[in-house]
């Protein structure tokens, strides 16, 4: 099937993915077709003409809603989890017990090899109070035929954690000596490929002075069956996986942590997976992939809350699931999926609060929504500070809502000055507002200090408890020091990157970030780049301006919320952040870009039903592009020529 897929679609995995999607979709259709669930028609309550905003009824999820969300989520999950990562990876790590230290290995059968495979992970940081156990620091590999004369084979230097360092050549020695001159060296696995064959030479320890110690030399050759001879993204780490999985491993193993430049809640979630499934690419990517899958029904819920109709929610969720950035960012072991998940969740509860009346909904219910929004905000900030930008959007929506209530209060007080002109019902309503407003306003503001300041602070402090960032242990003072360290690190960062981009390139999809690119031994090329679905991004560029105009011209509350969410997520990158940034920083903003596209759909359909044909065509084209670009966004095998064909713009590079 892979050969057919490559021949027909230039994608080895496409037919497999499509077959699984069809199978899962058929099962879901059968369930909903015969499940004893009543269909409910969407009924929107009639608008009440009054000078106050009454509570908008929470949308009812019908059988159709559950069908849509299950189908879209399942289809996306099939793609997201396909070829996510290998479950095997070397994890036991040797580190020197003295400086210098040598370990001698010998081959038990053949001695002719043409490649040396080396990979390092993190060692026992707790054993070295002066530094961290991490990396190759000019580890010398030498060969000998008689254990007396040694000739150089390779020097292991630099390299990246959880990535294979492969040195090719032609050697024939029965003995190999590994010499470390730095106490900070680590070596997780060392392997030698038989010349002209796809197998490793059998190797054993010949001499090791510290064989009875805590870190015997056998640790560097004890997982030969886990070494991959032809590693691609599936078999090793790439891009920022040199940071976050390492920190997650430290948390999972109670190790003192190295270079933590982000909050650690999301990393702790990865640590749980590593603790359960072991240290391998699948384990450190699975939490992000599952969070990306959960984002699909969550996005549907937000669409349903804003637009009320199942079809708008379905269109929006299909577009979200078909966005390249959502897929690519969910399949790499980084923090973005977690932070975006909490950002979307905190907006969901704030939207529900925004449409809740001050006087016809119990105050306790209003506070519950604000509390949940504050908790999600705290979780988002404890994952990544980019949630702080969107938290400003929450504040704007909250205070604009309170301002609206204050205007209603002023209107009621003016009406009460002319009581004879009021009907009994209007008089009663105005008196309720007069008696209740100040009390509700005071209680709301008071509790908001708790929900949006104290609770997030507590969540942030607590999120560091499972970690070992400091030598002197956990304390609130140390958490504050860590906050200042992270802040100073980011404002003083002067690093550059060949695939960095600028804020104005994101909105037009001009500069993807290329994560990974490599050809395997069969000639198939595997590439991973992070950028938006171009059709969706270009439509979103115009949609957000249309939505802004609609918010100002028609005082459209849904448009207002979308614009606030978009601007608060995007503008900080325009005005505040001056360091090196990448396309994936647009991810939180892209949520509201897609919502603006759906809002435009709704406006067009209200104007003329004929637009439904174009809307459906647009949605189908976005889905088609999603599948066509999988070789460039998910690493699925393809031909090099097809990768170049996908480079539509001058700033696009996929290998």
List, in sequence order, every residue forming a beta bridge with 190; answer none if it has no partner.
118
Place of tokens 């909903």: 32
- At 359, the pLDDT band (50, 70, 90 cuts) reads confident
Say how far apart CA 590 and CA 598 lie, in whole Å: 13
- Which pair of tokens denotes residue 67? 């069908």
Say how far apart CA 417 and CA 411 lie, in whole Å: 10
Contact 272, 246 (CB under 8 A): no
- Terminal Cα-to-Cα distance of the chain (whole angstroms): 25
Say how far apart CA 106 and CA 254 lie, in whole Å: 35
- Which pLDDT score, from 0 to 100, does residue 116 have? 98
- Which pLDDT score, from 0 to 100, does residue 45 have? 57
Contact 247, 257 (CB under 8 A): yes
Q: b/e per residue, 336-352, with b = 16+ CB within 10 A? A: bbbbbbbbbbbbbbbbb
- Which pLDDT score, from 0 to 100, does residue 423 have? 79
pLDDT one-digit tens code per residue, 277-332: 999 999 999 999 999 999 999 999 999 999 999 999 999 999 999 999 999 999 99
Contact 530, 637 (CB under 8 A): no
**What one-character-per-residue DSSP string does 93-138 give?**
-B--SSSSEEEEEEESS--EEEEEEEE--B--GGG-TTS--BSEEE
DSSP 176: E
Nearest to 94 by CA among 174, 184, 227, 202: 184
- E strand or H helix at 154, and its extent? strand 151-158
Contact 422, 430 (CB under 8 A): yes
- Which pLDDT score, from 0 to 100, does residue 599 have? 98
Instruction: Mark out the alpha helices in 259-335 (DSSP H runs).
Output: 265-277, 281-307, 310-321, 324-330
- At 631, the pLDDT band (50, 70, 90 cuts) reads very high
Nearest to 330 by CA among 303, 298, 294: 294
Q: b/e per residue, 280-289, with b = 16+ CB within 10 A? A: bbbbbbbbbb
Say how far apart CA 84 and CA 330 lie, in whole Å: 10
pLDDT one-digit tens code per residue, 226-260: 999 999 999 999 999 999 999 999 999 999 998 78
Does residue 640 surpass a pLDDT of 60? yes
- E strand or H helix at 177, and its extent? strand 175-180
Q: Which of 29-43, 47-61, 160-174, 425-439 has the highest mean pLDDT?
A: 160-174
Place of tokens 């077959």: 19
pLDDT one-digit tens code per residue, 18-42: 999 999 999 999 998 887 776 666 6
Say how far apart CA 163 and CA 242 lie, in whole Å: 8
- At 43, the pLDDT band (50, 70, 90 cuts) reads low
- Which pLDDT score, from 0 to 100, does residue 292 have? 98
List, in sequence order, every residue forming a beta bridge with 171; answer none if it has no partner.
113
- E strand or H helix at 207, and its extent? strand 203-208
- At 436, the pLDDT band (50, 70, 90 cuts) reads confident
Percentage, residues of the chain above pLDDT 90:
81
Say how far apart CA 229 and CA 122 lie, in whole Å: 22
User: HEC string of 429-471?
Assistant: HHHHHHHHHHHHHHHHHHHHHHHHHHHHHHHHHHHCCCCCCCC
DSSP 218: G
What number is the average pLDDT over the span 625-654? 97
- Which pLDDT score, from 0 to 100, does residue 127 have? 87
Does residue 46 surpass a pLDDT of 70? no
What number is the average pLDDT over the span 330-341? 97
DSSP 141: E
- Most distant CA atoms of the chain, gap in Å: 113
For residue 281, give Cα distances in angstroms to 270, 630, 632: 11, 19, 19
Residue with the bigger pLDDT between 601 and 44: it is 601
pLDDT one-digit tens code per residue, 466-493: 999 988 888 999 999 999 999 999 888 8
- Which pLDDT score, from 0 to 100, does residue 553 have? 93
- Which pLDDT score, from 0 to 100, does residue 295 have? 98
Neighbour tally for 361: CB within 10 Å: 15
Contact 544, 563 (CB under 8 A): yes
Percentage, residues of the chain above pLDDT 70:
98
Does residue 72 surpass a pLDDT of 70? yes
Neighbour tally for 76: CB within 10 Å: 24
Our CA dihedral for 564, 565, 568, 574, rounded to 10 degrees, sits at -100
Q: Which residues contact 604 (CB under 8 A, 6 or more apart)?
A: 611, 614, 615
DSSP 558: H
- At 48, the pLDDT band (50, 70, 90 cuts) reads low
274 CB burial (10 A radius; 0-12, 13-18, 19+): buried
Say how far apart CA 387 and CA 344 lie, in whole Å: 10
- At 143, the pLDDT band (50, 70, 90 cuts) reads very high
Does residue 189 surpass a pLDDT of 80? yes
pLDDT one-digit tens code per residue, 82-120: 999 999 999 999 999 999 999 999 999 999 999 999 999
- E strand or H helix at 528, and its extent? strand 525-530
- E strand or H helix at 157, and its extent? strand 151-158
Q: Which residues contact 560 (CB under 8 A, 6 or more apart)?
A: 400, 551
What number is the average pLDDT over the span 407-423? 83
Say how far apart CA 367 and CA 369 lie, in whole Å: 5
Mean pLDDT over the full length of the chain:
93
Say how far apart CA 386 and CA 576 lie, in whole Å: 12
- Which pair of tokens denotes residue 440? 């509700």
- Which pLDDT score, from 0 to 100, does residue 41 have? 65
**Phi, psi dihedral angles at 144 (to 5 degrees):** -150, 150
Does residue 206 surpass a pLDDT of 90? yes
DSSP 335: S
Does residue 49 surpass a pLDDT of 70? no
């Amino acid at each position: 099937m892979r050969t057919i897929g490559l021949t027909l679609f230039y994608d080895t995995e496409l037919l497999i993915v499509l077959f699984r999607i069809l199978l899962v979709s058929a099962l879901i259709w059968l369930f909903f077709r015969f499940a004893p669930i009543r269909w409910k028609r969407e009924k929107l309550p009639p608008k009440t003409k009054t000078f106050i905003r009454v509570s908008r009824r929470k949308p009812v999820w019908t059988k159709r809603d559950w069908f849509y969300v299950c189908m879209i989520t399942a289809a996306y999950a099939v793609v997201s989890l396909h070829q996510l990562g290998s479950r095997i990876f070397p994890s036991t790590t040797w580190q020197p017990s003295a400086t210098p230290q040598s370990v001698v290995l010998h081959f038990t059968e053949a001695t002719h090899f043409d490649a040396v495979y080396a990979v390092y992970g993190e060692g026992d940081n707790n054993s070295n109070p002066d530094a961290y156990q991490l990396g190759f620091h000019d580890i010398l590999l030498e060969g000998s035929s008689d254990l007396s004369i040694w000739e150089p084979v390779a020097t292991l230097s630099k390299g990246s954690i959880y990535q294979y360092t492969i040195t090719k050549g032609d050697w024939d020695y029965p003995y190999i000596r590994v010499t470390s001159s730095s106490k900070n060296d680590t070596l997780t696995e060392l392997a030698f490929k038989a010349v002209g064959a796809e197998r490793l030479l059998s190797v054993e320890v010949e001499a090791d002075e510290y064989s009875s110690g805590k870190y015997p030399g056998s640790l560097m050759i004890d997982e030969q069956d886990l070494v991959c001879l032809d590693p691609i993204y599936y078999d090793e780490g790439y891009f920022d996986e040199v940071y976050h999985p390492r920190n997650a491993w430290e948390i999972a193993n109670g190790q003192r942590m190295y270079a933590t430049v982000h909050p650690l809640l999301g990393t702790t979630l990865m640590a749980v997976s590593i603790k359960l499934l072991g240290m391998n690419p699948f384990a450190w990517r699975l939490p992000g992939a599952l969070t990306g899958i959960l984002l699909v029904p969550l996005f549907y819920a937000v669409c349903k809350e804003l637009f009320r109709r199942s079809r708008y929610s379905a269109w929006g969720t299909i577009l979200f699931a078909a966005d390249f950035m959502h897929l690519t960012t969910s399949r790499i072991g980084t923090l973005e999926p977690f932070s975006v998940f909490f950002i979307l969740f905190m907006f969901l509860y704030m939207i529900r609060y925004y449409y809740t009346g001050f006087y016809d909904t119990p105050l306790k219910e209003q506070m519950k929504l604000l509390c949940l929004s504050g908790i999600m905000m705290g979780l988002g900030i404890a994952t990544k500070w980019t949630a702080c930008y969107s938290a400003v959007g929450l504040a704007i929506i909250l205070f604009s809502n309170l301002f609206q209530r204050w205007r209603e209060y002023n209107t009621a007080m003016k009406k009460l000055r002319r009581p004879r002109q009021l009907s009994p019902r209007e008089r009663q309503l105005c008196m309720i507002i007069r008696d209740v407003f100040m009390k509700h306003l005071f209680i709301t503001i008071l509790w908001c200090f708790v929900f949006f300041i104290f609770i997030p602070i507590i969540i942030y402090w607590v999120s560091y408890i499972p970690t070992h960032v400091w030598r002197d242990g956990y304390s609130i003072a140390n958490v504050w020091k860590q906050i200042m360290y992270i802040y100073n690190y980011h404002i003083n960062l002067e690093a550059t990157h060949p695939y960095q981009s600028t804020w104005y390139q994101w909105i037009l999809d001009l500069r993807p970030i290329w994560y990974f690119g490599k050809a395997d031994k069969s000639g198939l090329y595997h590439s991973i780049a992070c950028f938006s679905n171009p059709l969706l991004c270009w439509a979103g560029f115009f949609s957000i301006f249309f939505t802004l105009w609609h918010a100002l011209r028609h005082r459209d509350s849904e448009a207002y919320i979308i614009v606030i969410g978009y601007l608060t997520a995007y503008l900080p990158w325009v005005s505040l952040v001056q360091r090196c940034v990448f396309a994936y920083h647009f991810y939180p903003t892209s949520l509201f870009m897609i919502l603006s596209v759906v809002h435009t759909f709704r406006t067009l359909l209200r104007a003329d039903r004929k637009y439904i044909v174009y809307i459906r065509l647009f949605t189908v084209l976005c889905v088609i592009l999603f599948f066509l670009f999988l070789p460039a966004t998910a690493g699925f095998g393809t031909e090099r020529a097809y990768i170049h064909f996908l480079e539509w713009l001058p700033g696009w590079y996929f290998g």
